Chains A and B, each alone.
Chain A
Amino acid sequence: MFAGAAAALLVALVLALARAVLGPTVFDRVQAANTVGTLAMLLLAVIGFLTGRPDFLDLALVYGLLNVLGTFAVLKFFRYGDLGDPGEDEEHHT
């Protein structure tokens, strides 16, 4: 039954990658990357259950943390133009 869940997750991953490729704007691609991260986290957990190795869950947790941090970094770059200066308020960066 885990194989069925893993198959559904693979289908979802393919669709999310399709959106990442098709996405007209950069934010579509960031959204697709975020979704791929969540799905990969779930796939790691399911594979951990399939192969009977509980340490895969730690991998899924760390992967999820890194994925969110990556999303925030990319968003800050595309939002403020650079990562260097401390983020000013919205008025300065119209």
Chain B
Amino acid sequence: MNTVVDILSWGFLLAGGAFCAIGALGLVRMPDFYTRMHAAGVTDTLGAGLMLFGMMLQAGLSLVTVKLIMIGLLIFFTSPSATHALARAARARGLQPLLATGKGPSKRS
């Protein structure tokens, strides 16, 4: 039973690490500020969530798991509000989103 939990938590940890890297890569490669915020959201939600859950599995029922739950709740509540404040501030300062150049829905042609 113990090895199953270990392997499961390693899987979650690596998946979380991968999503953090993917989110950060999206943060770099996205063309526009507002799309980069979506990429940063991937890091905050999936990356952090999977990693924290992987660590909770490693820690089992103990004070460490309670602290990990606290960190998870912190990210759960503050990350969306920070992103919201960021979007409003950028929008209020007149940062225009990068819109399509009016070709209509992008077709494969």
User: Are A27 and B90 interface neighbours, CB within 8 A?
Assistant: yes
Do B24 and A34 touch (CB < 8 A)?
no
* B interface footprint on A40-52 (CB within 8 Å = 1, 0 otherwise): 0110011001000
**Contact between chains at B74 and A61 (CB < 8 Å):** yes
A residues 48-81 with Cβ under 8 Å of B?
Answer: 49, 54, 57-58, 60-61, 64-65, 68, 71-72, 75-76, 78-79
B55 to chain A: which residues have CB within 8 Å? 45-46, 49
Q: Is the interface of A mostly helix, strand, loop or mixed?
A: helix
The complex places the Cα of A32 from the Cα of B33 at a distance, in Å, of: 11
Chain A interface size band reads 35 or more
Residues 34-88 of B at the A interface (beta carbon under 8 Å): 36-37, 40, 43-44, 47-48, 51-52, 54-55, 58-59, 63-64, 67-68, 70-71, 74-75, 78-79, 81-83, 85-86, 88
A-B contacts, 10 of them at CB < 8 A, read A12-B43, A19-B36, A35-B44, A39-B24, A42-B51, A45-B51, A54-B64, A57-B64, A61-B70, A64-B71
